[in-house]
Structures are given as C-alpha cells and as structure tokens.
Amino acid sequence: SKALPVFLFGLVLTGFVDKGEGNACSSTFFSALVQLIPCRAAVAPFSPIPPSETCCNAIKALGQPCLCVIVNGPPISGVDRNMALQLPEKCTANFEPC
C-alpha cells in the first residue's frame, strides 16, 4: 500500500529531529517570534535594557529548541542576534547553547 512508505519516511524524519536538538520546536518561526514580543526592548541593537520578567517567562515557556530556530532563522529587523542568544543566561533559563 502507499501508506507504508509515507509512514516510514515520517519515522525516519522523526528520528533525525530527535537526534538533532533533543526536542523539536513545536512552534512555527512566526508564532515563536510572536511569543518573544515582550523581549523586543532587550534585544534591540545596543540596548542597555535588561530582559523583563515577562520576557524571561516567555523565553522559558518557548524553550531552547524554538529560541534556536529564531536566532538561526532569517534576519529579523531590529533584533541583535547576539543579544537574543544571551537571553537564556540573563533569564537564568539554563538552556544548552544553540
């Protein structure tokens, strides 16, 4: 039947995702980005503003795999990627590096 090859392909892809990051990001790039709106001031280029409690809660809720998807994805206007990568440390989220 045609369902078996599709099932096997899905199984193989799942295996790659599991080995890649440990956990896959279940959000799309856009929805993950929307979750991080509270962090906008803290990741603006040259911003001296520390992440707010709301931002830190959003980072922790989003999780490391989704944060990595965002910082490794397409450029985001008004966002300093290096500052975004520092958010987990500033928020004491204890994420693995991307």
Nearest to 39 by CA among 11, 69, 10, 62: 62
Domain ranges of the chain: 30-91
* 27 CB-near residues (< 8 Å, 6+ apart): 35, 62, 66, 69
Note the helical H segments in 1-98.
Answer: 3-21, 29-35, 40-43, 53-62, 64-71, 81-90
Q: C-alpha dihedral over 92, 63, 67, 30, to 10 degrees?
A: -140
Q: What is the pLDDT of residues 62-82, one digit of tens each?
A: 999 999 988 888 888 899 999
Which residue has better confidence, 98 or 1? Answer: 98
Q: What is the pLDDT of residues 17-48, one digit of tens each?
A: 333 445 688 888 889 999 999 999 999 999 99
Is the separation of the CB atoms in 40 and 54 below 8 Å? no
Question: Looking at the domain that runs over 30-91, which CATH code has it been given?
Answer: 1.10.110.10
pLDDT at 23: 67
